[in-house]
Structures are given as C-alpha cells and as structure tokens.
Chain A
Amino acid sequence: KAGVTQTPRYLIKTRGQQVTLSCSPISGHRSVSWYQQTPGQGLQFLFEYFSETQRNKGNFPGRFSGRQFSNSRSEMNVSTLELGDSALYLCASSLSVDTDTQYFGPGTRLTVL
C-alpha cells in the first residue's frame, strides 16, 4: 500500500499570502490529521477530519483552516501568512479516530519570507 503523500514538499511564500497544502491518506483510511512542527513549539495538533467532518481542532487562529473531501483527501489552508507560520506541516492518516494509530506523511516544509 502506498503511504501518506503530501504535496508540495517544499514551499516558499511571502508574508500576507495564502497557501494550500494537500494530503492523500493511505487507501482505506478515513481520518486525516494535520500537525505543525517547529523547533520551538514541537509538534502541535492543528485539526482532525473524519468522513469530511472536522472532529477536533487545536489552538490555532482562524487563519488556519482545513477540509476533507469524499475520497478522504484533505487540504489545509493558511491565509495571511506570518513569519511564524514557517514550519514543517505534517499530515497523518488513520483508519478511524480515537484509538487508531496515525501514519504520517513526509511533510510540507513551508518557509515564509
């Protein structure tokens, strides 16, 4: 089975722009979660989707949003980018929610200039 894929792998944007990141889960997985990883804050949970519904949300401002499509693919969007949004954004998929193991993609490294 193919693993979790994320596109693009690298992205450079400037402050004020917006960005959309994409995640394709492992085939058959219906839950997708997003995380932000920075050297200072570590791995922080952004949100989790299951069957096209946002099930959980972390403590991030409204500039961070996401959605999940009927084929379980997910996108996250960050509007009005700030320098502090520079990070590795990781997507993880699991069969279901709560107890299932999450499998991670390679991440998208976003640099905001």
Chain B
Amino acid sequence: AQKVTQAQTEISVVEKEDVTLDCVYETRDTTYYLFWYKQPPSGELVFLIRRNSFDEQNEISGRYSWNFQKSTSSFNFTITASQVVDSAVYFCALRGDKIIFGKGTRLHILP
C-alpha cells in the first residue's frame, strides 16, 4: 500500500528564517513520482515540483530546495529566507498507480 506522511501538522517561523517541511513515503513500486504542492488561502493547489524515483538529485529553485533520499524514503522541502507570502498549506504527494496526498503542513510565516 502507498502512504505519505507529513508529520508536521503546523509550523510557525519568523520571516527570514529557514524552514524545512518533512515528507516520508511508502511504496512497493520501483517507479513512482513525488510532488510538492502549495495551497494558499485561496484554495487552489499550486504545483511546485515533480521528481521521479530514479532521479535523486537535489533541486534548487530560488528560495526553494528539495532533498530526495530514497534510502530513507524522504522528500523534504526547504524554504530559505522565508517570506510572509510563503504562508500556506504544503502537500507532498506520491504517484504510482494512483496519487496519494499527505495530510499537509500548515506553514505560518510571522512578520
């Protein structure tokens, strides 16, 4: 069975601090895809990144970076120098046959 765990339900940090959102997954598939989405208060999920199971290279996009470690089945997301606009709920998702979402982490960036 597939499973995605985002153990951090809610995180609050002060603006400009770095913050890491954890994602741990379970799957028996050898080929799978991992995603991160952002859901601002407006409700629409915004795609951030997609990573396939054969590509363990870390990725950086501006203030965002992702660390994929197959050995620990983790796909963590770090925001560097956080800003108030980063406040949102962040979802990690795993796609094999179907797509499974974690419960999400609500991130509050305090000014």
Contacts and interface: CB of A to CB of B under 8 A. Distances in A.
Q: Give the contact-size bracket for chain A.
A: 20 to 34
Interface string B62-75: 00000000000000
Interface string A84-106: 00001010100000110111111
A42 B92 CA distance: 12
A99 B52 contact: yes
B37 to A, nearest CB: 7
Instruction: From A43, A92, A105, name the one whose CB has the most chain B CB atoms within 10 angstroms.
Output: A43
Contacts of B104: 42-43
Contact of A33 (B43, B97, B99, B102): B99
Interface in A42-97: 42-43, 45, 48, 56, 58, 88, 90, 92
Interface of B: 33, 35, 37, 42-47, 50, 52, 91, 95, 97-104
Interface of A: 33, 35, 42-43, 45, 48, 56, 58, 88, 90, 92, 98-99, 101-107, 109
